[in-house]
Amino acid sequence: MKIMTCPLNGPRNISEFSCFGPVHAAFDPAQVSDAEWTHYLFHHENKAGVIREWWRHTPSNYFFIAERNTVTDEIVATYGPHDRAAQGVSA
C-alpha cells in the first residue's frame, strides 16, 4: 500500500485518503461558453506526467493538494490549499 504524506498529519497509508479530482483555476460558470462548460464536465486531460489534485485525509477531514507523477506513480509533493502561492502556482 502506498504512503501519502499529509501536510497536517504526516505520512499515512493511502487508504486513509480520497481523491477529489484535478485542481482547476477558479472560474465563474456563468462566464464560460457551453462548449467550455461541457469540456470542463466531461473531458479529462488524463495527462502523462505530473498532475495536481485535491486530496482529503478522511479521518481528519483535511483537504490539500498533491502533485503526483502518473508515469512513475510517485507522489512528488503535497501541500496545504493556502500554500499554493508558496509553490509558485497562481490560484
Partner 1 sequence: MSARLPFPYGSRIDRAKSLSFTFEGRRYEGLAGDTIASALVASGQWAMSRSFKYHRPRSVLTMAGQDANTLVQVGSEPNVLADTRALSQGLDVSAQNVAGSLDFDRDAILDKLGRFMPVGFYYRTFFGPGKNAWLKVWEPLIRKKAGLGKVDTTLPPERYEKKNLFCDVLVVGGGPAGLSAALEAADAGARVLLVDENPVLGGSLTYARFGCDLNESAALLADLTKRVRDHARIDVLVDAVANGWYADNWVPVISGRRLYKVRAREAVLCTGSLDQPVPFRNNDLPGILLGSAAQRLMRHYAILPGRRAVVFAGNRDGYRVALDLIEAGVEVAALVDPRKAQDHEALASELVAAGVKIMLGARIVEADGKRHVSSVTVRFANGASDRIACDLVAVSSVYVPTYQLALQAGAKLGYDDVTAQFSIIGLPRHLALAGSVAGHFALDTVLAEGRKAGAEAARALGFDAPAIEAPQDAERSVSNFEVPIHADPRGRDFVDFDEDLQAKDIENAVKTGYAELELVKRFSTVGMGPSQGRHSALATARIVARSTGRSVAEIGVTTSRPPFGPEKLGVLAGLQQSRFRHTSVHEHHLKAGAKMTPVGAWWRPLHYGDDSQRDAAIVAETLAVRRGVGMLDVSTLGKLELRGPDAGLFLDRYCSMNYAKQPVGKVRYCLTLNDMGAAIDDGVAFRIADDLYYVTATTGGVDRIYADMCWRNVEWGLNVDILNVTAVFSAFNLTGPKARRVLENLGGVDVSAEGFPFLEGRVGVVAGCPVRMMRIGYSGELSYELHVPQSYGATLWESLMEAGREVGLVPYGLEASRVLRLEKGHIIVGQDTDAVSTADELGMTWALAMKKPFFIGKRSVELLRRAPLKRRLVGFELPPEERNRPDESCLVIRNGEAVGHVTSTCHSPTLDKWIGLAFAPADAEEGTEIAIKARNGAMIRARVVSPHFYDAGNNRQEV
User: By the criterion CB under 8 A, which residues form the site for partner 1?
Assistant: 1-3, 14, 18, 20, 26, 28-30, 34, 37-38, 40-41, 54, 56, 58, 61, 63, 73, 81
Complex with partner 1: residue 50 or 84, whichever CB lies closer: 84
Within 13 A of 41's CA, how many CA atoms are on the CB side? 8
Nearer to partner 1 by Cβ, of 31 and 46: the residue is 31
Q: How far is the CB of 49 from partner 1 (least distance, A)?
A: 18
CB 11 within 8 A of CB 22: no
Yes or no: say if 52 and 65 are a contact pair by the CB < 8 Å rule: yes
Output 40 or 47, the one with its CB closest to partner 1.
Answer: 40
Longest dimension (CA), the chain: 42
